[in-house]
Every structure is written in structure tokens, then in C-alpha cells.
Amino acid sequence: MGLEQHSYDIHRNLYAGTKTQQELAVYKQWFDRYTVDLWRHLRMLSVLDAFLDHHLQARWLTVGDGRFGTSATYINRKGGKALASDIDVSLLEIARQEQMIPDFALANAENLPFDDNTFEYAYCKQSYHHFPRPALAVYEMLRVSSEAIVFTEPHEFYPAPFTRNILQSVKHAGKRLFGKVNVHHDTGNYETIGNYVYAISVREFEKMALGLGLPAMAYKKFQDVYIPGVEQEMVESAGPLMKKIKKALRRNRMLNFLKVAEPNTIQMILFKNKPGTQIIADLKRNGYTYTVLPQNPHPVS
């Protein structure tokens, strides 16, 4: 059995231990109760607004959306037409029964069961880093989408900003002086189920986009903090968890400013076709870096 097959088998039963009724009670009302957890996820889902505002009724595929299809629900509520998909559809079946989503698809992100350009857009939130062969998922999402693919994922922390590099160099020199081993920065960056954690970087996706001859890309880095219990606390209560999260976000932003750390989350967009001027303007207005990519000067005839 290959490592990727082992990963697929595990993720096909990802939600087997879920306390279904307890979670269902939360997610059936998720978009109707302004909890701190919803506040967090709306910050992630906001990357979709520029497309939803200017391309109503567009067809979307949400990839790795197995926890009740929340990404698809957001898109549908904003006027799009989204199909939720996952390799484990146990919670998606319940979501359809409860009329939370109109439909779903059983789909391996690395081998999507759809024809070319079936959708205008594909979106993957917090799932890409779990895939055993994630580059295949990028190519598959591009294949089944005609306009763009969008990700909200953990952001690669290495290479670190120059200030942190200096501090690391001093730390490593001290270890060498005392004969200790300098562990590689990615050592141990594995989930307990055995998957390597594929956090993404701008350069990584830029290289894929250049290799595929894509016209443009856009991205935005930001901080996210999760504290257990945010699923129950309401934003308007200004409770202790919201205060802790905002304090942590301020601390992390200061570390970013001092070049000691990088933002821990990134929203990444790869365009298959150049977007309209309104979408570009909206992205820039909301803090995204939009880049027109150079085209191959030696096209294949």
C-alpha cells in the first residue's frame, strides 16, 4: 500500500468519531449565530466575496468541505451555486438530509470525478495541507474550473524573516559549539495520522502558476488564532475568549512587524483567465497583492 492510499483510507473515515448530534446542532445554526468561531471563519471565507459580488450564479466546487459543507453554504447564501465535496461524505449526507446543502459529491481532491471546466471556480479551505500529493489537487482543481481556484490555508513559516534568521543563526551556532544537533526546521512537521503538513507559500504557488502559463495570481497573508470553546461564545458578549484571541492577534502582528515571524494563514488565488477590473479592484482594496505573471516567450507551437 502506498503512503497516499494509506492517507486516503484514513481520511475516508475522518468524521467517524464525530459527535454527530452535538456538532449538527452547532453547524445547523452556524451562519445564524454570530459566534467567535464564525467570526474567525468569515475572515477566511471573505476571500470569496470579490467573486461572489461580481459573478452571481457562478458554479463552485468546494474541495475538502466534508464538515457539513460550510464553505458551500457560505457561497450559496451569497448567491453562488456550490457543490460540496470530500473524500468522507458522512457529514455531507447528514447536511443534505437536514437541507443545509442541496447536494454533495464523493471526490478525492487528487482525482476529481468531473469533466474539464465543469465549474467556474473551485475553493479549498484548510484541507490542502492534509493531502498526501497536494500538487495533484492544484492541477485537478484547475482542470475542472474555467476561471480561478482559491485556497485558505496555513502559511509556510520558512524561510523566516531576516530578524528571525539572525536569531536562528545565533541559536544554531551555540548548539554547534556545545556539540548539539541542529534539527531541520521541518522535522516533526507531521500529523499524528502520518500526513506531512503541506503549508503553502507564495513562491511555491507562483512557480506552479508560471509552469502552467497562468495569467495572474493574488494573495493575502493574515493571522488566525483558535482557542477551544469559541464555538459557543458570542461575539457581542465580548467574552474572555474573544479578548484572548484579539490579544494574541495583536501580539502576532507585532512579531510580524518586527520581522520575527510570518503571518500564519494565507489566502491564495490562481487565475486561469484574467479577472475583470472590478474583481481586481476589490481584491486590492481588501489588501490582496495582485500579480500579473510573465508569459513564456517561447510558446510551444
Query: Is the per-residue pLDDT at 73 higher than 70?
Result: yes
Q: Which three cell numbers stand for residue 149?
A: 481556484
Query: Is the per-residue pLDDT at 163 higher than 70?
Result: no
Tell whether the torsion through CA atoms of 151, 153, 157 and 162 is positive or negative: positive
Judging by beta carbons within 10 Å of its beta carbon (0-12, 13-18, 19+), is residue 123 exposed, middle or buried?
buried
Q: Are 69 and 84 in contact (CB under 8 A)?
A: yes
For residue 301, the model assigns a pLDDT of: 63
pLDDT in tens, 281-298: 999 999 999 999 999 888
Question: Total domain count for the chain?
Answer: 1
Place of cell 448530534: 21
Q: Which three cell numbers stand for residue 87?
A: 473524500
Q: Which among 264, 273, 279 is positioned nearest to 44, based on CA atoms?
A: 264
301 domain residue, yes or no:
no
Judging by beta carbons within 10 Å of its beta carbon (0-12, 13-18, 19+), is residue 231 exposed, middle or buried?
middle
In this prediction the pTM is: 0.89
Beta strand 59-63 with 119-125 is parallel
Query: Is the per-residue pLDDT at 72 higher than 60?
Result: yes
255 domain residue, yes or no:
no
For residue 12, the model assigns a pLDDT of: 72
8 domain residue, yes or no:
yes
Query: Is the per-residue pLDDT at 175 higher than 80?
Result: no
91 domain residue, yes or no:
yes
Q: Are 223 and 289 in contact (CB under 8 A)?
A: no
Q: Which three cell numbers stand for residue 120?
A: 467556474
Quote the DSSP letter at residue 108.
B
Neighbours of 149 (CB within 10 A): 27
pLDDT in tens, 251-279: 999 988 888 778 999 999 999 999 999 99
What CATH number does the domain containing 122 carry?
3.40.50.150
Structure-derived torsion over alpha carbons of residues 107, 109, 114, 118, reported in degrees to the nearest 10? 120
Q: Mean pLDDT of all residues in the chain?
A: 89
pLDDT in tens, 200-236: 999 999 999 999 999 999 999 999 999 999 998 999 9
pLDDT in tens, 74-131: 999 999 999 999 999 999 999 999 999 999 999 999 999 999 999 999 999 999 998 9
Q: Are 161 and 262 in contact (CB under 8 A)?
A: yes
Query: Is the per-residue pLDDT at 19 higher than 70?
Result: no
164 domain residue, yes or no:
no
What residues make up the domain containing 267? 3-158+189-236+262-292
